[in-house]
Amino acid sequence: MSEITTVRDQIASCAKSMFDRGLTHGSTGNISARLSDGSLLVTPTGSSMGFLDPGRISHLSASGDLLSGDRPTKEMPLHSAFYDTRAMTGAVVHLHSCHSVALSLLPDIDPENVLPPLTAYGIMQLGKVRLLPFFVPGDPAMGDAVRGLAGKRSAVLLANHGPVVAGKSLEAAVNAMEELEATAILAMLLRGANATVLNADQIDRIVDRFDVDWT
């Protein structure tokens, strides 16, 4: 089986898993993955992540030309910005997951790091998650905002829109996205509860042990 066929099947499988568990809905969300030759596989525009036809997943050249499949998601500027600024990026996942979106609407979250330090895995898999402003879906300015971070974030939260996570592989990106939504759920559940979060020493030990970019 060719690399393109294998990765198309992996994207469809991961997308369906997230859809079936309510992490995405309707025709929201998109996934991309970089192949060994630098080309990209991207979920098509207007498609539902629960019902992807692997053969119709967009195949783009390294320069962005459509080689096969349907037209790609209109959120390509987001995906391209991560690939261009983080050389280790092998896949990007963007969802409209409800609790992450809800967190982006709250007036008192820290825009430099929207997730409170609740668990070790939230820190290990995500580092600091930057809140970006609201953009109209498909606006290339979303990509410009990610580029403005100069590769210093693997995950961002778009205000009133949803999270975007880059990972070294498709599996890593999906796992990190699920960790982001799980942490957002915890943050919403614990809101106003005076929860015991990880302290600075505990965070430092996690960052040092797992080589987390915490800048």
**What positions carry a catalytic annotation?**
75, 121
Q: Is the dihedral of CA 170, 173, 156, 151 positive or negative?
A: negative
Asked if 114 contacts 95 with a C-beta cutoff of 8 angstroms, the reply is: no
Asked if 82 contacts 92 with a C-beta cutoff of 8 angstroms, the reply is: yes
- Kind and range of the H or E element at 131? strand 130-132
Asked if 91 contacts 167 with a C-beta cutoff of 8 angstroms, the reply is: yes
Q: Is 151 left (phi over 0), alpha (psi -120 to 50) or beta?
A: left
Q: Which of 34, 31, 33, 26 is nearest to 44 (CA)?
A: 31
Q: Roughly what angle, to the nearest 10 degrees, separates helices 170-189 and 3-20?
A: 10
Based on the number of CB atoms within 10 Å of its own CB, is 186 exposed (0-12), middle (13-18) or buried (19 or more)?
A: middle
